[in-house]
Structure 1
Amino acid sequence: MMREPTLHEVTITSGFWRDRQNLNAAQAIFYQWQKLEATRCIDNFRIAAGLISGFREGFFFSDSDAYKWLDAASRIMFHYKDPQLIKLVDDFIDLLAKAQQSDGYLYTYNQIQFPRQRWVDLQVEHEFYCLGHLIEAAVSHYETTAETKLLSIAQKAADLLVKEFADSTPEYTDGHEEIEIALIKLWKATDRIEYLSLAKTFVERRGTIKLFPLKMLSQVLDSNRRMNLVAKMRQAWLREHPDHKTFKLPERNKNVVPFWAVPRFVVNALSGKYNQQHKPVADQKKAEGHSVRFCYLKTAETMLAQIPGQENRIQPLREIWTQMVTRRMYVTGGIGSLPLSEGFGRDYELDPEVAYAETCAALGSMFWSHEMANLTGEAPFEDLFEWQLYNAASVGIARDGCSYFYNNPLTSHGTINRAEWYDVPCCPSNLSRVWASLGKHVCSFDHSEIRINQFFSSKINIDSQRQIFLHIDSELPWGNQVKLRFDMEKPAPYDLIMRLPAWADGCSVLLNGEVIIVHLSSSLPGSPSANGLDFFAARWMRLSRSFNPDDEIVLIFDMPVRLIKQDRRLPKCGGKYAVARGPIVYCLESVDNSKDIMSVKVNAESLKSFCDATLMDGTWVIRGLDISGEPITFIPYMLWANRGKSQMTVFVK
């Protein structure tokens, strides 16, 4: 069975993603640490450790933001040996060791504000969620450094969870899934079967809490009581410390929140749909509730399905993935159409202005698709991973790495802008940890097969003993050529399997300069898609032969400008078109266009793609004419709002 590579085996070497990894390592990760310090998120751990006095700041789940930063930093410093970053990581690990209680408990909200309380209001306050991100950070740090100090901290916390909850009732499942993924990863890192067992238990207990609406209401009221008490204590503390300076966050974006959003959120929360507690997991057939939580749950389920004896999970997972992709996903790959609920609406309820489409939701969907690809070996899952990476996820970070989007509408009338930071800054470090580990997504391989999943310029260590390497030189997402070159001393037989993306109209394959015929897998049966995308058209190209040293395979993709028609049932964009080329969705931004961008009727034959060296230090744009002959300019959706507030829309007539 093919496996994914480790970070040790793949290095992103150049091109689009190397530039972004450089930005991640040189700018974003340090900026995020500065904001965590400025908002006193890190001070919370110092207070818990008894190193300083003060008042805890931030939401009850803010520990997780620091853990995701630690996860991202651990992945980054594997390829970027920055002494400053290494010291920050080492010092933070030392701080966590001091803040952790002797039995493994680590949750600063309770440790500081309610030292006699634990595991309180789990459907609301996310203790397990926070520990999950601690564990994921520890596994990443162990994989990249082989050091065990952070892993030991995580294992102490996990051992406490096993002790407390292996035989507990369904009430002790967290309201925000994440611990399940983390425990499975910890099992893989340590071979401790009790971690896998607890992850499986948490998944299978979900949706079985009796009288859930009453218990959820009780927890919401109690959590609010606790927060109000903390607010009063904070005001008293501030009166005693008048010189204390509070970090002021930027003004929040004025999101479109329809009148019906509040009652629907209340119904979703009390029914259990919001956090996937409305019915047992095996009976959940639709993408429902908070979109990040849903995707984290499905990621954990898919990881479990990869274990022998769990094969019965595969088909239900495939069906619910299909339902999400074809009926409840925007053309950018964004998911979650409901504000407040931050989650899925009904089928075809994909309003581009109301769209929440949280950055973390796209990342969660990518985690799930990646595990589905590991499970099935099917190309559509890799296709969606790529589409969301370029569009719904990467729109979440600005070109300078220092401002972010939390939610990502597909149409804006000028009220949305990137923010320097958020009161819930979950997305920045989540995106950073994905960018830092893209090498693991390039390929899968074993002793006889190499499957190229993503076309990132990279160097892959296929076989250390035989010194077999594969170099990928990719022009994507702008150019249409990808070169693969074998670097080895002796010939070696392999089945080289390369993805033919659904966005490509075709592909020419050359071996050492000569056009060759490759075997194409059949496309999978799919369903009509509301967003106009057909990921089921993605296939595999197979080239089986004995490869010689310096053999070069060149892929030349057909990448025309495409108009992607939206289902007429979609609100406000039904029957309209999105413009795309290759894996990139484009948009109109008012700063580039003199006319009302919301009413553009495009002349499709006029659209041409090229690099504008004067735009944002060189950007591939699509230019053409509307039907009246007036020029129009489309920029990549992921780059909008990099020049201040402006109107934007993905859709044209």
Structure 2
Amino acid sequence: MKHSAYRAFEPVSFSQVTIEDAFWGPRLQINREKTIPHIYHMCQQTGRLDAYRLDWKPGDEHIPHQFWDSDVAKWIEAASYSLVSMPDPALDALLDEVIALIASAQQADGYLNPHYTVVEPDKRWANLRHGHELYCAGHLIEAAVAHFQATGKSTLLTVACRYADYIATIFGQEPGMKRGYCGHEEIELALVKLYRVTHNTRYLQLSQYFIDERGQTPCYFDTEPAPDYHALGLEYHQAHQPVREQTEVVGHAVRAMYLYSAMVDLFCETGDETLLQACKRLWHHLCSKRMFLTGGIGSSMLNEGFSSDYDLPNDTAYAETCAAIGLVLWCHRMLQVECDAQYTDIMERALYNGVLSSVSQDGTTFFYVNPLATQADLARQRWFDCACCPTNITRLLASFGHYIYSQNEHELVVHLYVQGTVRAKIQGQPVVLRQETAYPWDGRVNLTVELEGPVEFALRLRIPGWSSGAMLMVNGERVDLNGLSEHGYAKIERVWSNADRLTLFFPLPLVRMYASPEIAADIGLVALQRGPLVYCLESIDNAVPLHRLVLPRTSAVQIVDESDSGLDGVVTGIADALAVGSTDWEEATLYRPQPPGMQPAALKAIPYYLWGNRGVTTMRVWLHEQSI
């Protein structure tokens, strides 16, 4: 893997990370044992795999769709990552079989897309705005890189390189080439990955072309014969301005996150500060005006994306799973440039809430959207016609270890608190760091350094932005965190010896969260959060309809370790509340001049990521609060 010249840190590969965590461990195991096989089965059942046989004819079932390729590619990526931590000869062989099938569909010139090969062979590159050809190519490239890194096999990597080489002959500014780019960003970041593995600068240059060309005038999309059938304008594709001039997150949320991720990647390789500064502006706008408490993004179903500042409705929140995953990808890239906890805090918020809520506890059903309130009208599904979210969540979980640590020659950074070990080399010396923790249920984290001999380096430990009163001890002695803090990380620089031990402690009360007064949907409401976990209410736990519950500001919220109700090991919250009464209200009376009475009620809250696992239910994150 090529080192990136302009980022301060490199992620520690998940191949160097062992996860033995009571929270994440079972989820990763379910992802491997249930979700990855389930997605393969659905790709079989729906014709996504057979599409590569190129034998479809008009009138046949399962018409190969223009973005089916991406689902298969993301399955390959997830399965490849899985092989690193959980070797499986049968899965390895299955991957070889699927890759051989994909390779057989590649055309003589390198082109590879079943839909445009057999369904619309005369439409190749004719609809870049909505056609998803380059998007699918990007996911194929990402899958190829993952498979090569996991197995050392180059079959799919060779296919991806042939395809990328062909694409490089089609797109560019030279005479006779297309001045276009994809309506759905993805290939930009994939090409940087391919460059880092192959060291072929052609791929980096092609990524740079796609990023630089987006938003230029005249817009290439306006020259295409295919109509803009979404009629959502150029902002939908982030093509309304050159990327360096953009100041607001707009349009389709997933596309935006992939574009911004690619912009950071390109900065890391070229040092183009204008790209980084644009990302910082966009980051600030997103986090200060257009993000849900859960780390979900994209409020509107109309464009699967952003609407206007502070438009953050709860029951109609779109918050697509892929968008939250894209936010994690962007956060993680920004972290490597600047080790700043503002990025990690949002990455953690999205991971524990906006992402994890999307997959069921058994790993076989999924949410596409993740609202913050429902009226028992939403349930996870086994599959979707547009199956981007199930395939995206499985590849993220399979590579979860990638997001925990970073390093450079002189420092090792802990971003997330997850029990297990990391093996790194600092100044050429092997360093093992072992985490022991029950986070996020418990705020204590024990870290042990294992070395062959003394090594001088800095260890950076994130102090989460949600924490208050954090404490740190090194070899039993308390140290002043204020004196060690750099951008939300405690930096402990010293000569470390074998068995040196650190203990971090974060108090974990269940606290009340309030929204900006500019968010009309949340005026007079309160939410609950404990550590990184946002909480919600489900009707299954509460006898009173959720819309009638009121939490007095003076009411203490108690935490409870659960051992029943399908919530074993989970910390829930209970409180004395009030219910807007209905006993004194006649059913036939719709309005009256007298207010309803208030009655005592009990309230129970569970972590948001768990909602919807015990049947179809009413749910809400934001609750009415009585301030007096």
TM-score by length of 1: 0.87
Matching residue's letter, 2:376:
G
**Which residue matches 1:315?**
277
In 2: Cα distance, 1:214 partner to 1:312 partner:
27
Give matches, 1:51-62, under 5 Å: 54-57=60-63, 59-62=65-68
Cα offset for 1:56? 4.4
Give matches, 1:190-229, under 5 Å: 190-210=198-218, 214-215=222-223, 218-220=225-227
Q: Is the 8 A contact 2:129 2:221 kept in 1?
A: no
Once the two structures are overlaid, the 10-residue window that deviates more, 463-472 or 453-462, is: 463-472
**Which residue matches 2:5?**
none
Cα distance change on mapping 1:101 and 1:566 into 2, 3 Å: same
Give matches, 1:113-128, under 5 Å: 113-128=119-134
Cα offset for 1:173? 0.6
Q: Is the 8 A contact 1:333 1:388 kept in 2?
A: yes
Matching residue's letter, 1:562:
V
In 2: Cα distance, 1:314 partner to 1:2 partner:
15
1:624 aligns with 2:624: no
Residues 266-315 of structure 1 deviation map (CA, whole Å, 9 limit, x = unaligned): 3xx2x301111112112211000000001110110111111243123222
SS at match of 1:274: helix
2:263 is aligned, of 281, 297, 301, to: 301
Cα offset for 1:380? 0.7
- Aligned-residue CA RMSD (Å): 2.1
Matching residue's letter, 1:624:
A
1:40 is aligned, of 47, 50, 59, to: 47
In 1: Cα distance, 2:14 partner to 2:476 partner:
32
Q: Is the 8 A contact 1:274 1:290 kept in 2?
A: yes
Percent sequence identity over aligned pairs: 32
In 2: Cα distance, 1:480 partner to 1:302 partner:
32
Give matches, 1:319-468, under 5 Å: 319-463=281-425, 466-468=429-431
In 2: Cα distance, 1:170 partner to 1:621 partner:
56
Cα distance change on mapping 1:603 and 1:5 into 2, 3 Å: same
**Which residue matches 1:232?**
none
Q: Is the 8 A contact 2:535 2:621 kept in 1?
A: yes
Cα offset for 1:116? 3.8
Once the two structures are overlaid, the 10-residue window that deviates more, 510-519 or 637-646, is: 510-519
Matching residue's letter, 2:572:
V
1:157 aligns with 2:163: yes
In 1: Cα distance, 2:494 partner to 2:515 partner:
42
2:495 is aligned, of 542, 546, 552, to: 546
Cα offset for 1:69? 0.8
1:556 aligns with 2:562: no
Cα offset for 1:171? 4.8
Number of residue pairs the alignment of both structures matches: 592
SS at match of 1:601: strand
> 4+ residue runs of structure 1 moved beyond 4 angstroms?
53-56, 168-171, 211-216, 519-524
**Which residue matches 1:31?**
38
SS at match of 1:477: coil
Cα offset for 1:617? 4.5
Which stretches in structure 1 are left out of the alignment for 5+ residues? 225-264, 525-538
**Which residue matches 1:492?**
455
Cα distance change on mapping 1:88 and 1:597 into 2, 3 Å: same
Which stretches in structure 2 are left out of the alignment for 5+ residues? 1-7, 579-598
Matching residue's letter, 1:459:
T
1:167 is aligned, of 136, 150, 173, to: 173
Which has a greater percent of helix?
1
Q: Is the 8 A contact 1:58 1:423 kept in 2?
A: no
SS at match of 1:334: coil
Cα offset for 1:13? 2.4
1:581 is aligned, of 513, 527, 530, to: 530
SS at match of 1:174: coil
Residues 528-551 of structure 1 deviation map (CA, whole Å, 9 limit, x = unaligned): xxxxxxxxxxx1112122222111
In 1: Cα distance, 2:436 partner to 2:401 partner:
14
Cα offset for 1:597? 0.8
1:569 aligns with 2:518: yes
2:480 is aligned, of 496, 507, 517, to: 517
Once the two structures are overlaid, the 10-residue window that deviates more, 498-507 or 301-310, is: 301-310
1:477 aligns with 2:440: yes
In 1: Cα distance, 2:620 partner to 2:333 partner:
32
Q: Is the 8 A contact 1:13 1:457 kept in 2?
A: yes
Residues 489-522 of structure 1 deviation map (CA, whole Å, 9 limit, x = unaligned): 2222221110000111121112233322245566
Matching residue's letter, 1:393:
V
Matching residue's letter, 1:565:
Y
